[in-house]
Amino acid sequence: MFEGLKKRFSGFIGSLSNKEADKTSAIDDKGHEEKNANAVSNAAEKTALAIDAPVEAQGAIPAAKNGDMPAGNLSAEENEPKHELPDAALHKNPRISASTKIKGFVFGKVKISQKDADPFIDELRIGLLQSDVNYDVADRLTEGIRQSLVGREVRLKDIEADIRQSIRSSIYGILAKESAIDIAGLVEQKRMQGQLPVKILFIGPNGAGKTTTMAKVAKMLISSGITCMLSASDTFRAAAIEQTVHHANALGIEVVKGTYGADPASVAFDAIAHAKARGISVVLIDSAGRQETNKSLVEELKKICRVTNPDLKIFVGEGISGNALLDQVRDIDASIKIDGIILTKIDVDAKGGNTISILSETSIPILFFCTGEKYTDIMRYNPDFVIDNILPAS
């Protein structure tokens, strides 16, 4: 899950850790320095020409893997970082020579300079764009990461953990939005006000997973003891009504349907009346897939909203749809205000960048992730889950 971003961030951290371990200039542990200066100078002289040479030229230092470098152990082989660099672009960065590494271990601390960070920040920006992060967001995020890293003094043995933590904080600032919607709480509130049923409209592009997601939300409500029913208001796509009826039957709940070509708003209106009459707490309203470019479908959507006045308008989008997703969200939001987003197909190679883009560029909360085709393949959005998947703490 979110493999794209995970790969980018760990590649970046591994590369920068290596680069910083390669430094010999910014050492602040003076006492330590004097004490060990003689021991180091010989090794440094021997390797001065080799520091920035490609790994082949340095002779038999294997490619870096996993950035943990145990302090105090000066064996070049054993101290070799162990992360895997994902890209050819990252592989071209200089590797650490054995003696330089010894120097770093002796002096203990390094300071990350702008010159050192810049090439890696640029690589990271490209990696983010390739992982579906929007251009402006990638720019802002990498700038924030640059500012938090440059000038930072870190103990060499902690360098990977330190950089990792710094980047985690930058991303977490975007991911941790306090705006989740509590559907059960909304039902309770409406019950107290005598305004049931709660009406939830599902909208989004064709094939994004609206109908399936609606059924998953129904299943969640049923499991929480909340009564619900479906409105088969996609009267546009062939077999859409049968699909909704199938879900209703499988879940053991009621469904109101019309005929193909019927006004979807009137089907939803009938479903709401039915729910009121039967004391059903929530009506889940399906809708036809629509692109922002399809004017008549967008007008139809506005009409459904006028007629039914939904409590929640939930945009269902594919977590795999790349940068286009943010534009879809913005366009639909401009037509009818979206209250929340559900991202589907996270199980199918979702790179994860569009989650960051949406949360950074809009004020709309992501409510759930859908992770498969079963009714139970839905999980509440959780920033810890996202950050731990794209950049594990260790």
Ligand X SMILES: Nc1nc2c(ncn2[C@@H]2O[C@H](COP(=O)(O)OP(=O)(O)OP(=O)(O)O)[C@@H](O)[C@H]2O)c(=O)[nH]1
Among 206, 224, 249, 376, binds ligand X (CB under 6 A): 206
- 313 part of the interface to ligand X, by CB under 6 A: no
Least separation in angstroms between residue 263's CB and Mg ion is 17
Cα-Cα-Cα-Cα dihedral sign, residues 168, 171, 175, 178: positive
Of 176 and 379, CB closest to ligand X: 379
What does the block give as tokens for 162? 């330190």
| Closest to 370 measured CA to CA, from 385, 380, 356 | 380
> How far is the C-alpha of 88 from the C-alpha of 41, rounded, in Å?
34
* Binding of residue 219 to ligand X (CB under 6 A): no
**Nearer to ligand X by C-beta: 23 or 210?**
210
142 binds ligand X (CB under 6 A): no
Q: Rg of the Cα trace of the chain?
A: 27
- Interface with ligand X (CB under 6 A), residue from 188, 292, 347, 388: 347
Q: Report how far residue 167's alpha carbon sits from residue 13's, in angstroms, rounded to the nearest whole number.
A: 9
Which of the listed partners (Mg ion, ligand X, none) does 195 bind, with a CB threshold of 5 to 8 Å by partner kind?
A: none
Q: Which does 146 bind (CB under 5 to 8 A by kind): Mg ion, ligand X, none?
A: none
* Strand ranges of the sheet holding 228-232, from the earlier edge strand across to the other edge: 255-257, 228-232, 282-285, 198-203, 312-318, 340-344, 366-370, 378-380
Choose the contact partner of 352 out of ligand X, Mg ion, none; CB within 5 to 8 A by kind: none
Binding site for Mg ion (CB under 5 A): 210-211
Q: Tell me the closest approach of the beta carbon of residue 203 to Mg ion, in angstroms.
A: 10
Tell me which residues in 288-307 interact with ligand X (CB under 6 A). Answer: 289
Stretch that binds ligand X, among 58-66, 84-92, 261-269, 342-350 (CB under 6 A): 342-350
**Interacting residue ranges for ligand X, rule: CB under 6 A:** 204, 206-212, 234, 237, 240, 289, 344-345, 347-348, 370-373, 377
